[in-house]
Amino acid sequence: MFYRGRYSSSVLRAYLYTLFHTRRFEELFQAIAANTFEQKYFEELQDLWYKARYAENEQRRQKELGAVEKYRLRKKHPPPRSIWDGQETIYSFKENARKVLRQFYKRNKYPTLEDKKEIARITDLQIIQISNWFKNRRQRDKSSTDRFTPPVQLQFDNLLI
């Protein structure tokens, strides 16, 4: 088995891709779990992890997976800690980032550029992502209050026909 202590991360990643393309999935999963990787490679290696899970399952079942089967595989086989910080990512936002955004939103629904820069520093999100999150959140809040507003009672007593 390949261990990072002996090899550079680029050699180790090349080895993982070789395992993937030669369809040696179990070795790939073991190699990923047994090594440590820099966080900058997490997204790439998570993508490889899931593609290998899909390919392994498709090979076993002899049919292409649909969206639901892929979702179930992702839930059943999350990436190991060696390539994942444990935070679930929903729509490109990690749990901690969403928590920070919600806290800022409670204080101010219209953050200044300085506020957005501070949020970006804390969350590692881009300012455009932060701006879009606030815009979407305000829109969702507006839509939800519109739905629950009681209908206006119209008075027809004073109308002349």
Show the domain range for 101: 89-146
Q: Does residue 41 sit in the same domain as residue 93?
A: no
pLDDT at 112: 96
Spatial contact of 45 and 18, defined as CB atoms under 8 Å apart: no
Domain count, the chain: 2
Same domain, 75 and 95: no
pTM over 0.85: no
Q: Does position 150 have pLDDT exceeding 70, yes or no?
A: no
**How many CA within 13 A on the CB side of residue 78?**
10
Q: Considering just the CA atoms, what is the radius of gyration of the chain in Å? A: 24
Interval 73-103: pLDDT, tens:
999 999 999 998 777 666 678 889 999 999 9
- Among residues 146, 149, 136, the alpha carbon closest in space to that of 102 is found at 136
CB atoms within 10 A of CB 86: 9
Kindly report the CATH number assigned to the domain that includes residue 121.
1.10.10.60
Residue 130 placed within a domain: yes
Mean pLDDT, rounded, for 130-144: 92
Two tokens at 73?
């595989």
Looking at 29, 61, 83, which one is the last position of a domain? 83
- Same domain, residue pair 72 and 101: no
CB-CB neighbours of 101 under 10 Å: 21
Rounded CA-CA distance 92/104 in Å is 18
Q: Is residue 153 part of a domain?
A: no
Assess if residue 140 is contained within a domain.
yes
What's the average model confidence in pLDDT over 147-156? 61
Q: Does residue 15 sit in the same domain as residue 79?
A: yes
Whether residue 157 has pLDDT greater than 90 = no
User: Of 34, 57, 83, which marks where a domain is finished?
Assistant: 83
Place 159 in a pLDDT band, splitting at 50, 70 and 90.
low
State the pLDDT at residue 148.
61
Q: Is 64 within a domain?
A: yes
29 and 67 inside one domain: yes
Position 32 pLDDT exceeds 90:
yes
Do the Cβ atoms of 123 and 98 come closer than 8 Å? no
Residue 112 lies in a domain: yes
Domain shared by 24 and 58, yes or no = yes
Query: Which tokens is 16 given?
Result: 């993982």
Answer with the one of 83, 98, 127 that is the final residue of a domain.
83
pLDDT score, position 84: 86
Express each pLDDT in 37-73 by its tens digit: 998 999 999 999 999 999 999 999 999 999 999 999 9
- 134 token code pair: 């606030």
Same domain, 107 and 44: no
